[in-house]
């Protein structure tokens, strides 16, 4: 049945509701007979959980990235102050200079260095998202495998042979997780450059 | 060639993190005139109201993706002069070819390095300064 037939069907016909009821009952009976219902139910329940887990990952990784970028920007400012102060020490030492003046510059460098250390620690600590999200990803993957397994079994048992059609090609794909298993993608900037050069770009 | 340091850059990406990274890298190269847009539609609005010299754009974005933005820029006589460098996680060969055929000045796949960005920028600008 295609989309056109769907929209053409009489929406409020009692026959439609009767047929829907029959199909639902058949599906329920089939699932129960196959012993898949409890597993499928567990997987479906897990989907809501998976959505929140994935949102959690997005939030944690975003927070970590922001934290690191802020720390880097602040550390770079301190680094600039250190560069300036050391240059000033160099200039001062070339001529007559008071001990106090040199000590003040050295103290300024020391202070800036300490603050750089704090920012570097912040960067290190921000990496904790990797551990946390890694565990969550593992749970979502386990759920996806379970759901896929249940659905594949259901399809094999219940779907007519002719319904196994090629899935439609998707649009944009995002990052390629494992380019070694694909021939239609590039795995490095070098391959991008070679491809474009081969086409005369 | 126009002085690189006087050029106005527009960085287009739906992830603020990536916009910050690209802006940070440009700053390290001494390029401080950088503005940002969160998708193709926002970028097009900025491009039509302010003079830019270079666009660095992601592809996979809501509202208007990078391909649509690239095509809109090249179809607009007032904007067609703009070099557009695609910086994207899309690594399919057909996407790279489509970008080149649509008029992209360069294509960088994420994750990338500062050296790659610098190299592409310099190559694109050197090519633009050559007589047609």
Tell me how far apart the alpha carbons of residues B106 and A89 are, in angstroms, rounded to a whole number: 45
CB-CB contact of B121 with B85 (8 Å) = yes
Task: Decide: helix, strand or coil at residue B46.
Answer: helix
**A160 — pLDDT class (breaks 50, 70, 90):** low
Q: Which residues of chain B neighbour A169 with C-beta distances below 8 Å? A: none
- Could you report the predicted ipTM of this complex, rounded to two decimals? 0.81
Partner residues linked to B55 by β-bridges: B10, B84
Summarised one tens digit per residue, pLDDT across range A38-76 is 666 676 777 777 778 888 888 889 999 999 999 999 999
Asked whether the beta carbons of residue B93 and residue A189 sit closer than 8 angstroms, the reply is no
The reported pLDDT for the residue numbered A167 is 57
In chain B, the N- to C-terminal Cα span, in Å, equals: 13
Query: Considering only CB atoms, which chain B residues are within 8 Å of A192?
Result: 91, 96, 107-109
Q: What is the mean pLDDT of chain B?
A: 92
pLDDT band at B106; cut points 50, 70, 90:
very high
Over 90: is that where the pLDDT of B121 sits?
yes
Domain of B10: which CATH number? 3.40.50.2300
* Chain B residues with CB-CB distance to A69 below 8 A: 17, 20-21, 24
Confidence label for A28 from pLDDT (cuts 50, 70 and 90): low
Number of domains in chain B: 1
Shortest CA gap B99–chain A (Å): 10
Q: What is the pLDDT of residues A84-93, one digit of tens each?
A: 999 988 888 8
Taking the complete model, does pTM exceed 0.80, yes or no?
Answer: no
CA distance A84 to chain B (A): 17
Residues of B in contact with A199 (CB under 8 A): 97, 100
- Say how far apart CA A144 and CA A138 lie, in whole Å: 10
State the smallest CA–CA distance between residue A186 and chain B in angstroms.
5
Residue-range definition of the domain harbouring residue B107: 4-129
What is the pLDDT, as a whole number, of residue A142? 81
Q: Tens digits of per-residue pLDDT, B12-59?
A: 998 888 898 899 889 888 899 999 999 999 999 999 999 999 999 999
pLDDT at residue A131, as a whole number:
78
Write down the pLDDT at residue A34.
57
B132 has pLDDT over 70: no
Residue spans per domain, chain A? 47-150
Q: Using CA atoms, how far apart are residues A70 and A80, in angstroms rounded to an integer?
A: 16
pLDDT band with cut points at 50, 70 and 90 for residue A9? very low
Considering only alpha carbons, which residue of chain A is nearest residue B93?
A: A185
**pLDDT value for A78:** 95
**Does the structural domain A47-150 have CATH classification 1.10.287.500?**
yes
CA atoms within 13 A on the CB side of B40: 18
Residue B34, classed as helix, strand or coil, is strand
Mean pLDDT of A24-44: 66
Per-residue pLDDT, A1:
43
Least confident among A92-106, A176-190, B37-51, B79-93 = A176-190
Mean per-residue pLDDT over chain A, rounded? 78
> Would you call B116 and A189 a contact, using CB atoms and an 8 Å cutoff?
yes
Task: List the single residue in A with minimal CA-CA distance to B62.
Answer: A172
State the pLDDT confidence band at B96, using cuts at 50, 70 and 90.
Answer: very high
CB contact under 8 Å between B110 and A72, yes or no, is no
């Amino acid at each position: 049945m295609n989309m056109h037939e769907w929209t053409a069907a009489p929406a409020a016909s009692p026959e439609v509701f009767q047929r829907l009821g029959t199909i639902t009952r058949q599906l329920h009976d089939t699932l129960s007979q196959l012993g898949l219902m409890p597993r499928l139910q567990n997987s479906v329940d897990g989907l809501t959980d998976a959505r929140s887990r994935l949102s959690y990952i997005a939030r944690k990784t975003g927070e970590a990235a922001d934290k690191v970028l802020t720390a880097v920007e602040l550390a770079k400012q301190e680094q600039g102050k250190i560069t300036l102060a050391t240059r000033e020490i160099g200039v001062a030492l070339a001529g007559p200079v008071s001990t106090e003046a040199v000590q003040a510059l050295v103290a300024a460098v020391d202070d800036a260095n300490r603050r750089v250390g704090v920012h570097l620690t912040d960067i290190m600590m921000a990496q904790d998202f990797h551990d946390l999200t890694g565990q969550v990803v593992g749970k979502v993957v386990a759920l996806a495998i379970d759901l896929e397994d249940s659905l594949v079994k259901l399809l094999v048992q219940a779907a007519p042979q002719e319904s196994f059609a090629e899935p439609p090609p998707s649009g944009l794909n995002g990052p390629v997780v494992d380019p070694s298993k694909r021939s239609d993608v590039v795995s490095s900037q070098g391959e991008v450059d070679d491809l474009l050069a081969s086409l005369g770009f | 060639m126009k002085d690189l340091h006087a050029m106005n850059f527009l960085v287009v990406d739906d992830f603020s993190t990536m916009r910050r990274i690209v802006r940070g890298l440009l700053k390290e190269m001494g390029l401080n005139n950088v503005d940002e847009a969160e998708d193709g539609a926002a970028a097009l609005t900025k491009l039509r109201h302010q003079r830019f010299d270079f666009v660095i754009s992601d592809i996979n974005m809501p509202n208007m993706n990078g391909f649509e933005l690239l095509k809109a820029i090249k179809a607009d006589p007032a904007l067609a002069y703009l070099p557009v460098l695609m910086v994207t996680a899309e690594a399919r060969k057909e996407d790279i070819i489509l970008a080149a055929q649509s008029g992209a000045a360069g294509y960088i796949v994420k994750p990338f390095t500062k050296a790659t960005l610098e190299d592409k920028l310099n190559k694109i600008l050197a090519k633009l300064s050559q007589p047609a």
